[in-house]
């Protein structure tokens, strides 16, 4: 019941275009129901497996990683640690944009993170600056006039659910529980050590790796082999030579998948500013056409076998 309560709590609090929302709840004697929007594009894992060689191009991976990053950063801003980020737990909206879901393994951070702003300027100011820079000489985007949201109106929002420029400094707190999916679990979780929000950024790195290489980097022939690969410091991150990936992408993966959690890149501002994301216009990403068009399922037509055959076991 605690997992159901956590799922409901996160869904009710999070108000963000890249996070699934909660419409209504009700319960019977036996069951508790959470009513959420239907994402006709299925899971992100299904989308990956429908691509050639079950992987994305680097530009495609960059776009989807940026959307996941924004949602993850926002959840951390609310004091929520996901602890089970993976393609199976990401849904594809009919528009092609991604939405994070499945927060039953999430937990609350015991300290409130400090909210900061890039160069001490409001996120509204940065968004307006980027929008102005993208305007054509005629003052339009894509040939259509665009109107900016009034600063006072945005400042009255309880949560910055459209604010993709807000950063926070990770608070000094640690969690202590072994949960998650093995392929995506950080070494400190497996070794039963205390850990911080950096485990979500580790999982984010694994996700990015899988997008481009169609496998996870430390996967072994068995669960035991995978655990040993994750815990063995001599087992360094390796990249398949037959897949062309940029030096910027590899550098970001090196930074995110550092087995030493104290040295791992976990500052959202540093991740956002990494050269790998240099083409991303952050304030406009919600209005950017996704690189792939999802195959839309009709309600009731989903094949249960297809939905579950790629699912990985959680611990």
Question: How far is the CA of 273 from the CAs of 2, 254, 280, in angstroms?
Answer: 37, 15, 10
Residues near 119 by beta carbon (within 8 Å), at least 6 away in sequence: none
Catalytic residue among 59, 84, 104, 311: 84
**84 a catalytic residue:** yes
Which one, of 86, 127, 103, lies nearest residue 19 by Cα? 103
Question: Reduced to 3 states, what is the DSSP secondary structure of residue 314?
Answer: strand
As a whole number of angstroms, the distance between CA 100 and CA 158 comes to 21
Cβ contact 189:178 at 8 Å: yes
Instruction: At 38, give phi and psi (nearest 5°).
Output: -85, 125
CA angle 113, 115, 118 (to 5 degrees): 140
Tokens of 74: 């926002």
**What stretch of H or E contains 34?**
strand 32-35
Instruction: At 222, give phi and psi (nearest 5°).
Output: -150, 170
Question: Reduced to 3 states, what is the DSSP secondary structure of residue 114?
Answer: strand
CA angle 225, 229, 232 (to 5 degrees): 130
Cβ contact 217:261 at 8 Å: no
Which one, of 93, 20, 89, lies nearest residue 289 by Cα? 93
As a whole number of angstroms, the distance between CA 177 and CA 57 comes to 35
As a whole number of angstroms, the distance between CA 76 and CA 80 comes to 5
Instruction: Tell me whether residue 235 is exposed, middle or buried, using C-beta atoms within 10 angstroms of its C-beta: 0 to 12, 13 to 18, 19 or more.
Output: middle
Which residue numbers are catalytic?
Answer: 84
């Amino acid at each position: 019941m605690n997992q159901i309560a956590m799922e409901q709590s996160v869904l009710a609090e999070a108000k963000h275009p890249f996070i699934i929302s909660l419409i209504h709840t009700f319960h019977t004697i036996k069951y508790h129901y959470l009513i959420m929007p239907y994402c006709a594009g299925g899971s992100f894992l299904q989308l990956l497996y429908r691509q050639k060689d079950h992987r994305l191009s680097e530009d495609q991976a960059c776009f989807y990683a940026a959307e996941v990053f924004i949602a993850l950063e926002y959840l951390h801003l609310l004091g929520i640690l996901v602890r089970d980020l993976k393609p199976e737990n990401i849904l594809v909206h009919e528009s092609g944009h991604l939405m994070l879901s499945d927060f039953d393994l999430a937990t609350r951070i015991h300290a409130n993170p400090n909210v900061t702003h890039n160069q001490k300027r409001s996120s509204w100011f940065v968004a307006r600056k980027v929008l102005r820079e993208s305007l054509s000489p005629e003052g339009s985007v894509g040939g259509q006039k665009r109107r900016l949201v009034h600063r006072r109106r945005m400042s009255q929002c309880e949560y910055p659910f459209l604010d993709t420029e807000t950063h926070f400094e990770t608070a000094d707190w640690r969690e202590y529980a072994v949960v998650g999916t093995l392929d995506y679990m950080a070494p400190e979780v497996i070794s039963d050590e205390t850990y911080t929000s950096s485990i979500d950024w580790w999982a984010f790195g694994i996700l990015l790796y899988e997008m481009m290489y169609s496998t996870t980097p430390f996967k072994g022939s068995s669960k035991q082999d995978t655990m040993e690969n994750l815990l063995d410091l001599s087992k360094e991150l390796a990249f398949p030579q037959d897949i062309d990936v940029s030096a910027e992408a590899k550098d970001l993966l090196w930074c995110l998948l550092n087995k030493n959690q104290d040295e791992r890149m976990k500052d959202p501002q540093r991740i956002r500013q990494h050269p790998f994301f240099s083409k991303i216009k952050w304030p406009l990403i919600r209005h950017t056409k996704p690189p792939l068009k999802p195959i839309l399922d009709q309600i009731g037509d989903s094949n249960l076998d297809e939905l579950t055959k790629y699912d990985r076991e959680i611990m």
